[in-house]
Amino acid sequence: MKRAVSVLLSCLCFALCQDDEPDYDNILYGGIWRLPSPSPTLGEEDVSKAVQTAIAFLDQRKTHNIRKSDGGLHPYSVRNILKMKLAFTSDDREPYLYSVMSQEDKPKPMSTLLVFGTTYIFQITWTSKDFIFKHNFIVTMYPKGNFYIFAHTSMNEEFSPHQMNNQTTAAQEESNSAVCSVLFSDGSSDPALFSTRSCTLRRADVLKDLHSCDNRLQGSLYTDIGAQTVSKSCVKRSDIYLNFTVMTYNTWNFNSRPEKGSHYYVDRIKRLGQVINDYKPDIIAFQEVRFEYQKGGSLGPNQAQHLADMLQGYQFVYQPAQLQPNSVRDGRTEEGVAVFSRYPIISHHSLPLFRNQSNSADLHQRMCQHVEVQLPNQKTGCASWLQTECRPLGIDSPFFFHVGY
């Protein structure tokens, strides 16, 4: 009997908690209810303008291979188009409806949605004789006719046989330089290229005393090429691991203080860009990044794109976490997290964190942004963030970043 009562109470508690939890199946992020558009096409004017905004973004960065010698665009295709209206929800459990008067001869009250723009997701693809360029974009529109970039990632894929042959020849030539492909003594191969102090080997069949080398001329790298033995080329332990730098920065939503004048924001974000360019980190995690209508001075409302304009050569993804309550009065205002990377971002998605709406201290939606980065040695490694805490998980695993807001 006690067990049955316990199970009943647990079920009741679960049901009550569910009532206080946002409808995560239907909200895109805090305050925004997703309204997908069925089968959007390039024939729709707003979709076409979103794509043209993305192409202009690439043009500003002089992205190679999208234009012909005469300045015209190479033929391209647009794939995987998604379109979502951003409807306001005051409780994150259903769309908010407000009353307006119809425009008929005899006006009458009617309910309508409060919409804060539209978000578009798509891929633009160019094909050359050697390989395919794939550019993935998230573009948002607010208000009508104004488009901004929220994410740009790209990767070159599907090399042609001609390109692969060229790469093979280059790799063979490089084998005479200070780079070797290593085969561990346990028989497992590693596709990574390892730098050595004076490596002239085409292949290493046995790697001895790897960990004892430790930056000193102790261990040796041995291989047999026919009957000839080549040896004594020390591999430093530090050379096994890919070195890369990571920076995390909380912007403190500093474009939200107009009382000091918009030019202060413009000056400050330029200084931020200068600091980052001085250090040149490989990966940057930003928190409290803002999109704020009518703010940002001459740069406009989209802080993620301000950063992208200053950090050329980086791919990036921005994920809003919460539409701010003042949006109903002042226009769309939201903040979230962004990840910038010098290396290709091959996948990303966001995870809204649990929020108990019955707790007045837990009304602001938090978001975890997941990003997978392709490292130069064609392996991936991993690390994760929750708020500003970094926990490395190992270099041999897929390389992920979790940025919590």
pLDDT digit string, tens, across residues 360-391: 888 889 999 999 998 875 444 443 333 322 23
Distance CA 92, CA 25 (A): 10
Report whether 255 contacts 296 (CB < 8 A): yes
Distance CA 293, CA 256 (A): 10
Distance CA 137, CA 117 (A): 17
So what's the pLDDT on residue 259? 58
So what's the pLDDT on residue 108? 66
Residues near 306 by beta carbon (within 8 Å), at least 6 away in sequence: 269, 296, 299, 300
So what's the pLDDT on residue 23? 94
Distance CA 264, CA 268 (A): 6
How is residue 356 written in tokens?
A: 């108990």
So what's the pLDDT on residue 159? 53
Paired strand residues for 229: 224
DSSP string, 292-308: ETT-SGGG-SBHHHHHH
CA 404 to chain centre: 13
Instruction: Label residues 35-44 b or e (16+ Cβ within 10 Å = b).
Output: bebeebeeee
So what's the pLDDT on residue 261? 59
Report whether 133 contacts 123 (CB < 8 A): no
Q: What is the enclosing helix (H) or strand (E) of 35? A: strand 32-36
So what's the pLDDT on residue 362? 83
So what's the pLDDT on residue 257? 60
So what's the pLDDT on residue 235? 43
Distance CA 325, CA 28 (A): 16
> What string of pLDDT tens digits covers the 405 residues of the chain?
555 544 444 444 444 445 578 999 999 999 999 999 999 999 999 999 999 999 999 999 887 778 888 889 999 999 999 999 999 999 999 999 987 766 676 666 678 899 999 999 999 999 887 788 999 999 999 999 999 999 999 988 765 454 445 544 443 333 322 222 222 223 333 333 222 222 222 223 323 333 333 333 333 333 333 333 333 344 444 444 567 899 999 988 777 665 555 678 888 888 999 999 899 999 999 999 999 998 888 899 999 999 999 998 999 999 999 999 899 999 999 999 999 999 999 999 999 998 887 888 888 899 999 999 988 754 444 433 333 222 333 333 335 555 555
Distance CA 230, CA 204 (A): 10
So what's the pLDDT on residue 215? 37
Which candidate, 200, 186, 195, 205, places its Cα nearest to that of 240?
A: 195
Instruction: Decide: residue 253, CB within 10 A, 0-12 exposed, 13-18 middle, 19+ buried.
Output: middle
Distance CA 212, CA 367 (A): 44
DSSP string, 180-245: EEEE-TTS-EEEEEEE-SS---S-BSEE-SHHHHTTSS---EEEEETTEEE------GGGGSPP--
- Diameter over CA atoms, the chain: 99
Q: What is the dihedral of CA 315, 61, 300, 266, to 10 degrees?
A: 90
Which residue has tokens 């010098």? 342
So what's the pLDDT on residue 382? 41
